[in-house]
C-alpha cells in the first residue's frame, strides 16, 4: 500500500514539474513576443536616443522599467493567489500535507522575474546595439 502511494506521489511530482516547466517556457516566449513588439514600435525612439548620446545600458534600463513593474505586480499577485489556493486545496485533501514555506514562494517569483527580465533585455539589447543610422534612414 505504501509503495503504491509513494509511486503515485513520484508520478504526480513529475507531472507537476513538467507542467511548471511548460508554463515557464510559454511565459518566457510570451514576454519575448511582447518585448519584441514594444521594441519594434519604439525603434525610431531608440535610434534618436543613440544619436543624442544615450548609452546602451540606459536604453535597456529605460525600456526594461515597464516590464519590471509588470513582472513585479504579476509576481506578487500570482504568489499570493498560489499560496492561498494551494493551502486551501491541500488543507481539504489530507491532514498530513507539507506546509508551504515563504522562501519557496519568493524563490519561484524571483526565478520568473529573472527569466522575464533576461528575455526582455536580450531583445532590447539587440536593437540598442544596432547602428542608429540604419533604423532612422529606413523610416
Least-confidence region, from 22-26, 99-103, 107-111, 123-127: 99-103
Domain count along the chain: 1
> Would you place residue 5 in the very low, low, confident or very high pLDDT band (cuts 50, 70, 90)?
low
Tell me if 64 is assigned to some domain.
yes
**Amino acid 88: pLDDT:** 78
Q: Is 139 contained in some domain?
A: no
> For residue 128, is it within any domain?
yes
Quick one: which of 3, 98, 114 has its CA closest to 64? 114
The reply to whether 46 falls in a domain is yes
Q: Please indicate, yes or no, if residue 35 is contained in any of the structural domains.
A: yes
**pLDDT band per the 50, 70, 90 thresholds, residue 127:** confident
Burial class (CB in 10 A: 0-12, 13-18, 19+), 60: buried
H-state helical runs in 42-138: 43-51, 56-93, 102-128, 132-138
Structural domain including 17 reads: 2-132
Q: Is residue 82 part of a domain?
A: yes
- Let me know if residue 48 belongs to a domain: yes
- Tell me whether residue 62 is in a domain: yes
Amino acid at each position: 500500500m505504501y509503495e503504491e502511494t509513494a509511486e503515485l506521489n513520484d508520478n504526480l511530482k513529475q507531472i507537476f514539474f513538467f507542467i511548471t516547466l511548460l508554463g515557464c517556457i510559454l511565459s518566457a516566449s510570451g514576454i519575448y513576443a511582447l518585448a519584441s513588439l514594444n521594441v519594434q514600435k519604439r525603434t525610431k525612439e531608440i535610434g534618436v536616443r543613440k544619436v543624442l548620446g544615450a548609452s546602451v545600458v540606459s536604453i535597456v534600463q529605460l525600456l526594461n522599467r515597464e516590464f519590471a513593474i509588470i513582472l513585479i505586480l504579476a509576481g506578487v499577485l500570482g504568489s499570493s493567489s498560489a499560496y492561498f489556493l494551494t493551502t486551501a486545496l491541500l488543507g481539504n485533501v489530507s491532514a498530513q500535507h507539507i506546509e508551504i514555506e515563504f522562501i519557496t514562494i519568493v524563490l519561484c517569483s524571483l526565478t520568473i522575474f529573472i527569466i522575464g527580465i533576461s528575455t526582455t533585455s536580450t531583445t532590447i539589447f539587440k536593437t540598442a546595439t544596432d547602428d542608429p543610422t540604419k533604423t532612422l534612414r529606413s523610416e
